[in-house]
Amino acid sequence: MKKNLFIILAMAIPIAGCESLSSQYEAIGCGVGGVLGGVLGNQATRNKSSQTRVLATAGGAALGAGLGCLAGRKLDEWTQRQLQEQTVQVLQSSTPASPPKVVTNPSTGTQVKVEVVEQKKATSTVAVPTIKERVETVPPFEVINESYRVTSDALNVRTGPGVDYRAAPPALKRGTEVLVLGKVIDKPDWMVLGQNGAISGYAYSGLLSRVGSARTEVVEKTKAPSTNTGTAEVAVTAPCKKVKQSVTFSDGKTGDQEATLCQQPDGTWLIT
């Protein structure tokens, strides 16, 4: 199954007070030429080996702008790419106890280091898409975003976390892989399932076996029409990591930047 880690780096600012990209640069005293730009670029990129997709917004570019200014120069393509790739890796697997990801450009001597300096869980209220005919309720849940495999001959997906909720056919056959968005806080034996970016029902955890540790696309034969989706406001507990990016040039000049990112129910990582 193809694994996708989606990262959206967006500054947490009120919608009514959004600034243009240029004004954000001015606010931190750095021109466009001095920002990372493509480090967490404005287009989707894909790591060929891990099929990891990275996506960033203007806010993400502004994060890199601080690093560019501290270093006092524009970062080249290699440095941008390595900052991006190493950040993806530490978000996927690193903890504060893990060694930093360090790579050195053999041609220029520039060194890139990315590490997790703090890890915690945080709870916030977010808007979560749901497939209306398959979901009756959305209780608070903790984000998991992992692939699981059905271990029973037939697993009923429920419209809520419990056998008192109706089944939402079809039942899942043994071996079917599903995306588990999270587990219900008050009923941790019940998993929140996802399909096409929306909550698609609930399943008993005892009939599922963990497959992967990254956000994994669910294998589904049918795609839910957008007219069948709704939105629920729910308290979500998510893993958060404070990531430190550092660059050391061959002449000894350095720059670094820190940001805390929290994983969202859809698998994205958001700067808080």
Q: Of the candidates 91, 147, 100, which has an alpha carbon nearest to the alpha carbon of residue 271? A: 91
| Token pair 């029902």 in the structure block, residue | 201
The per-residue pLDDT for range 87-127, each reduced to its tens digit, is 888 988 899 999 999 999 999 999 999 999 999 999 999 99
For 240, the 3-state DSSP assignment is strand
Same domain, 30 and 109: yes
Burial of residue 132, with CB atoms counted within 10 A of its CB: 0-12 exposed, 13-18 middle, 19 or more buried = middle
* pLDDT given for residue 85 in this prediction: 86
Same domain, 218 and 260: no
Is residue 176 a part of any domain in this protein? yes
Is residue 202 a part of any domain in this protein? yes
Same domain, 109 and 244: yes
Same domain, 92 and 144: no
DSSP 207-231: GEEEEESS-B----SS---GGGEEE
* pLDDT given for residue 93 in this prediction: 87
Q: Which of 11-15, 132-136, 231-235, 242-246 has the weakest average pLDDT?
A: 11-15
The pLDDT of residue 223 is above 80? no
Same domain, 105 and 210: no
Supply the pTM of this predicted model.
0.70
Is residue 232 a part of any domain in this protein? yes
Is residue 86 a part of any domain in this protein? yes
Same domain, 107 and 186: no
Is residue 1 a part of any domain in this protein? no
For 40, the 3-state DSSP assignment is helix
Same domain, 59 and 190: no
Is residue 128 a part of any domain in this protein? yes
Same domain, 26 and 97: yes
The domain in which residue 161 lies consists of 122-236
* pLDDT given for residue 75 in this prediction: 78
Same domain, 128 and 174: yes
Percent above pLDDT 90 for the chain: 49
* pLDDT given for residue 159 in this prediction: 98
The one-letter amino acid code at 169 reads P
> Which residues 6+ apart lie within 8 Å of 235 measured at CB?
123, 124, 125, 140, 185
Beta carbons of 262 and 240 less than 8 angstroms apart:
yes
Is residue 2 a part of any domain in this protein? no
Is residue 3 a part of any domain in this protein? no
Computed from CA positions of residues 119, 261, 209, 49, in that sequence, does the dihedral angle turn out positive or negative? negative
Same domain, 34 and 98: yes
Q: For the chain, how many structural domains are there in total? A: 2
Same domain, 128 and 111: no
Q: Mean per-residue pLDDT for 71-95?
A: 82
Same domain, 232 and 129: yes
Torsion of CA 122, 126, 130, 135, to 10 degrees: 60
Q: State the CATH number of the domain containing residue 164.
A: 2.30.30.40
Q: What residues are paired with 34 via a beta bridge?
A: none
Alpha-carbon distance of 214 to 98, in angstroms, equals 18
* Upstream peptide bond of 170 is cis (omega within 30 degrees of 0): yes
